[in-house]
Structures are given as structure tokens and as C-alpha cells.
Amino acid sequence: MRLLLVEDNERLAELVSKGLVAAGLVVDRADSIAQAEDALAVARFDAIVLDLGLPDGDGMQLLRRLREQGNSTPLMILTARDGIGARVEGLNAGADDYLIKPFATEELVARVRVMLRRLGTGVGTELGFGDITFDPVARETKVGGQPLALSRRETDLLEHLLRRGGKVVPKRFLEESLYGFDDDVSSNSIEATVSRLRKRLQTAGGEVVVHTVRGLGYMLMLGAK
């Protein structure tokens, strides 16, 4: 899952980003409406967390423009405005959730998960394919009931493959979903991550393999143990 965090308080944005990344999301940050619009013009996001008090305007303006343009990306408002009127205005403008500052990062992460799950992304639902099971909340993978240690990037890759078990996941989609704007991405980053994940699954003695569909992407398949 890739999320856009629009927040001009650098310290708060850093804390929130760390919590979301630990929960398995790729996070891109913007500190103004202009930066947010630039990011939305070139990338697809699964969710947006939006502050209202931004240096170049009211985040509510961005929310309304997105909804008027038909952009239905799940969006949570993050703000110090705690009046009933402000909350009602935000929800009526198209926000899916509204969180008041100050807040606990754990609550924000939990509410993002709930928002995504409620809107059909399946976040929080245990995933499985063959003898692999994956808990998206705990970020834990098991093969044949035994825990399998994976890096964060390998875990994110496996999650995307599991969510489309048996279907091809385009390489371009994986590149956009696994890496943020600030990540150092080489031309073979995806191939290298796939290779590591493939070896770990093979070493675990499972029945699932990561198959390369040349020119298209990757998919999970059942192979012989």
C-alpha cells in the first residue's frame, strides 16, 4: 500500500511516516498543497492523510478538488480543528475519517488500516496462497505453519503477490507500490527483491514459487516441494 502524507510539520510528519512504514505502507510526503498535487499527478496512492493548515492554503480545498475530479482515494483529515462544525464540513466534503491533533501514532495507523479495510482493500485480513499465510497487521509470514523471516521490502512484495494470488502483478505496478519518491531505485531493484524472496521460499521448503512472466511481471504458482 502506498500512502501520501500531506503535513508541513516536519517532526510530526517524520513520526507519522515511521509508524506507517512499520505497518507496511510506502509513504511519500508533501508539505504543501502544490507538492501534494504534483505527487498525485504522477503516482497512484491507496490512501491520503491530509493536514488542513498548510502553508499555501487550506487542505479542505485540495479535498474538494479531488472529489470534484472523481478521485475517490481514501482520505483521512489530520488537523487541530476540533469543532463539530469542522468535522462535519470535512466529512461532507468527502473525507473518510477525521483525526484530531494531538494523537497517538498507533491510533492513526490503526484508523488508516480500518479506513482501507472498510473501503475494500482487504487490509487486516489474513492472506494465503498454497502453504503460505501472511498476517498484514503483524507483518508475519508463515510457510507450512512455520515463521519465515523476511526483510521489509520482501514482505511488501510478497503481500502484493498474495493479494493477487495466481494472477500476474505487473512489474511497473510493483515499482510504483514498493518505492517512494525518495527511495534509491535502480533498474533491477524489483528483480533483486524477487530473487531474494524466491530463494527464501525455496529454502523454507514450501510449495509456492514466484514465477516470472517475461515482459509482464510476476505471479505466485504452486510448484512441487
Taking the C-alpha atoms of residue 214 and residue 144, their distance in angstroms, rounded to an integer, is 29
Q: What is the pLDDT of residue 123?
A: 52
Q: What is the pLDDT of residue 124?
A: 52
Q: What is the pLDDT of residue 135?
A: 85
Q: What is the pLDDT of residue 125?
A: 64
Residues in the chain, pLDDT under 70: 119-125, 182, 184-187, 224-225
Virtual CA dihedral for 194, 140, 30, 12, nearest 10 degrees? -150
For residue 55, the number of C-alpha atoms closer than 13 Å in the C-beta half-sphere is 10
Is residue 166 within 8 Å of 132, Cβ to Cβ?
no
- Could you tell me which CATH class the domain 2-118 is placed in? alpha beta
Q: Where are the domains of the chain?
A: 2-118, 127-222
The second-level CATH assignment, the architecture, of 127-222 is Orthogonal Bundle (1.10)
Q: From the CB of residue 179, how many other CB atoms can be counted at a distance below 10 Å?
A: 18
Q: What is the pLDDT of residue 225?
A: 47
Cβ-based neighbours of 102, under 8 Å, separated by 6 or more:
none
0.95 exceeded by the pTM? no
Q: What is the pLDDT of residue 117?
A: 76
Q: What is the pLDDT of residue 87?
A: 85
